[in-house]
């Protein structure tokens, strides 16, 4: 199989401006298509903005996005003949979800809802997604989707890898002070799961939070193939899905080999399904810590 060109659209969404943001996304998606990309990834909450001060402020914006974003994004995918993944907020009754919408040129639609929520921006008031990440066949790739803070949890990326992901797409909003996310976590998750990782961050300041940019494409060895700066930018790179699927690595055949999928010991991992113990104030749990039960 030949390589597949992918793009991260490092843009500046405007909080609450759903229609304006969708117009901007259309422009970025068009630029990615002109660059030869088969897939464009937009930032977390690209449709809606992120740094809302309350659920009451976020809910009407999420409702507007829920009503129009899917059709608008599908139209872009069809018109530009490119698959795209864009972050948005979704409303369901009085709940708000931080979601990534996946649309393809042939009309397929998928959705992932962020399952790990930090105490920041709209995530302070959002409801975590209730389903594990899935892998979608999109643009000649098997793509797993995570959102921002999910990257801190190796379990989330490992699920994508076990489901056969060639690439993990990460719409994100990295604020100042988490430079270790692109510097450490992105390469680590790619290398430990032998897959590519494409992170699309935003830039600008919103609600007192400044975002760092630094979108990047990392290969299955944890090597950065392309990286962006701190301004708006279209980042483009090529991925080789067949290489990602060769999880049995033979550095020196018969002497130095490994396979981070086949060499796992799942029978010894039962402790991973139990809540953590807080090192200072045990026990450590949220109302979602019992999900496995």
Question: What residues are labeled active site?
Answer: 44, 114, 148
DSSP letters spanning 147-159 = -GGGGG-HHHHHH
Cβ contacts of 270-277, under 8 Å, gap ≥ 24? 272/155
Rounded to whole angstroms, the Cα distance separating 107 from 173 reads: 27
Strands (E) across 189-255 are located at 196-200, 203-206, 209-212, 216-218, 224-227, 233-239, 248-252
Q: Dihedral, CA atoms, 149, 63, 136, 105, nearest 10 degrees?
A: -130
Burial 230-260 (b: 16+ CB within 10 A, else e): eebbbbbbbbbbebbeebeeeeeeeeeeeeb
Q: Following DSSP, what letter does each residue of 186-204 receive, concatenated? A: HHHHHHHHTSEEEEE--EE
């Amino acid at each position: 199989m030949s390589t597949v060109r992918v793009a991260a659209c490092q843009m500046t969404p405007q909080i609450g401006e759903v229609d304006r943001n969708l117009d901007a996304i259309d422009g970025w998606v068009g630029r990615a298509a002109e660059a030869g990309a088969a897939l464009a990834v937009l930032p977390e909450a690209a449709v809606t903005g992120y740094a809302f001060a309350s659920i009451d402020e976020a809910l009407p914006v999420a409702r507007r996005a829920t009503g129009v974003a899917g059709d608008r994004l599908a139209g872009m995918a069809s018109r530009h003949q490119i698959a795209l993944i864009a972050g948005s907020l979704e409303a369901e009754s009085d709940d708000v979800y931080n979601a990534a919408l996946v649309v393809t040129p042939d009309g397929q639609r998928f959705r992932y809802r962020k399952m790990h929520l930090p105490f920041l921006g709209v995530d302070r008031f959002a409801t975590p997604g209730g389903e594990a990440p899935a892998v979608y066949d999109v643009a000649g790739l098997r793509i797993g989707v995570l959102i921002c803070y999910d990257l801190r949890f190796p379990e989330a990326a490992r699920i994508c890898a076990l489901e056969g992901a060639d690439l993990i797409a990460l719409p994100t909003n990295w604020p100042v002070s988490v430079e270790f996310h692109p510097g450490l976590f992105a390469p680590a998750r790619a290398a430990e799961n032998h897959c590519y990782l494409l992170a699309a961050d935003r830039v600008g300041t919103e609600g007192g939070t400044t975002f760092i940019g630094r979108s990047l494409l990392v290969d299955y060895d944890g090597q950065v193939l392309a990286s962006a700066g701190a301004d708006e930018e279209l980042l483009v790179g090529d991925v080789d899905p067949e290489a990602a699927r060769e999880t049995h690595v033979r550095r020196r055949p018969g002497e130095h080999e490994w396979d981070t999928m086949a060499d796992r010991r799942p029978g010894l991992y039962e402790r991973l399904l139990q809540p953590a113990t807080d090192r200072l104030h045990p026990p450590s749990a949220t109302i979602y810590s019992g999900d496995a039960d």
